Structure 1
Amino acid sequence: MLAPVLAAIALSLAPQEASVSHQASGTFNVSITPVAPAEGAAPDTPGRMILSKTFHGGLTGTGEGEMLATMGPEQSGAYVAMERVRGSLDGRDGTFMLVHRGIMDRGAQELLITVVPGSGTGELEGLTGVFHLTIAGGEHRYVLDYNLPTE
């Protein structure tokens, strides 16, 4: 029983691999396609949607995922999504996953989109980060604050 605890302590004390902070920014196009609810689903069952994105700028490539969302009275609701991104991030090729969590409380919004730890492949292995998005004038913009292990 003590061995797992000691192993966790040893890992936390081990030298950590260095990483370098970066920032990529640009725009993206998004298509959201609703999926019909299952037959007999309750009226308040969260809606399911398929996401399809094309990224431009520091991140070039595509994103595909699924979203669950619900909206209640008084502009209150939430959404969650998982998205797989495939492309090039500042010239490094690979894939990674994003996890989305959005809350709206009487119109006040809170959004957190992060890179799923351990999801990077190819030259994006070890990627961590936070994806910030803004929508202005109908244009979707992003800033991805990220870290990659040093070579």
Structure 2
Amino acid sequence: MTTTTHVEAAITVHKYEPAVYEEPAEGPVLSRIHLEESFSGGIEGDGIVEFLQAADADGSASFVGIERVTGAVDGKSGSFLLQDNGTVADNIVSGEWFVVPGSGTGELTGLRGSGGFRADLGAGAQVWLDYWFD
């Protein structure tokens, strides 16, 4: 049986760069969003992520992304990738993520896990990860 460990962290966003790549007369607007952020808590370090987002005129949206986190999880250092999917609704950003299998480096080699995030739009997120090692 695999032992899973739960960690929580906070994210502070340092750079948010949206770029619209399709804005049809009707239907959702498609954008790429580049984000640079830092983690503090059970996850420490820096993240760089690219999102693809479909946004409706009412402000709601759906997005997917891949993020490289470089730092430490529970004091073990290295880097890993998170694959994200989420929504924006009523000014709340929320979603789920998982560690991309085989992406861990250094002391995080073999890292696996899943978790999620929640934030008020424009504010830092509260995040969690339930992880284990292969």
Whole-angstrom distance in 2 between the partners of 1:145 and 1:53: 20
Query: CA–CA distance in 1 between the matches of 2:49 and 2:93?
Result: 22
1:81 Cα deviation (Å)? 0.8
Between the aligned residues of both structures, percent identity stands at: 30
The verdict on how the C-alpha distance between 1:34 and 1:21 changes in structure 2, with shifts beyond 3 A counting, is same
Q: Are 1:134 and 2:118 counterparts?
A: yes
Structure 1, 68-77 or 111-120: larger mean CA deviation: 68-77
| Alpha-carbon distance in 2 for matches of 1:34, 1:84 | 17
2:132 is the counterpart of 1:144: no
How far the C-alpha of 1:107 sits from its partner, in A, is: 8.7
Give runs of aligned pairs for residues 57-68 of structure 1, distance below 5 A: 57-68=41-52
Q: Give the corresponding residue for 2:23.
A: 43
Answer whether contact 1:32 1:49 (CA < 8 A) is retained: no
Shift of 1:73: 4.1
Equivalent residue for 1:9? none
SS of equivalent to 2:125: strand
- The AA in structure 1 aligned to 2:76 is R
Q: Equivalences for 1:1-151 in 2 at 5 Å?
A: 19-37=2-20, 42-44=22-24, 46-74=30-58, 76-103=60-87, 111-135=95-119, 138-149=123-134
Cα 1:108/1:27, change in 2 over 3 Å: closer
The alpha carbon displacement at 1:111 in A equals 2.2
Does the C-alpha gap of structure 1 residues 82 and 72 become closer, same or farther in structure 2, counting only changes over 3 Å? same
Q: What CA distance in whole angstroms lies between the structure 2 residues aligned with 1:107 and 1:31? A: 19
CA separation in 1, counterparts of 2:22 and 2:11? 34
* TM-score, structure 2 as length reference: 0.79
Which of 56-65 and 109-118 deviates more? Answer: 109-118
TM-score normalised by L of structure 1:
0.71
What secondary structure does 2:107 align onto?
A: helix
- Greater C-alpha radius of gyration: 1
The structure with the largest helix share of the pair is 1
Partner-residue secondary structure (3-state), 1:123: helix
Mapped to 2, the partners of 1:58 and 1:108 lie a distance apart of: 23
What is the count of residue pairs matched by the alignment?
129
Check 1:78–1:59 CA distance in 2 against 1; reply closer, same or farther (3 A cut): same
| 4+ long deviations beyond 6 Å | 105-110
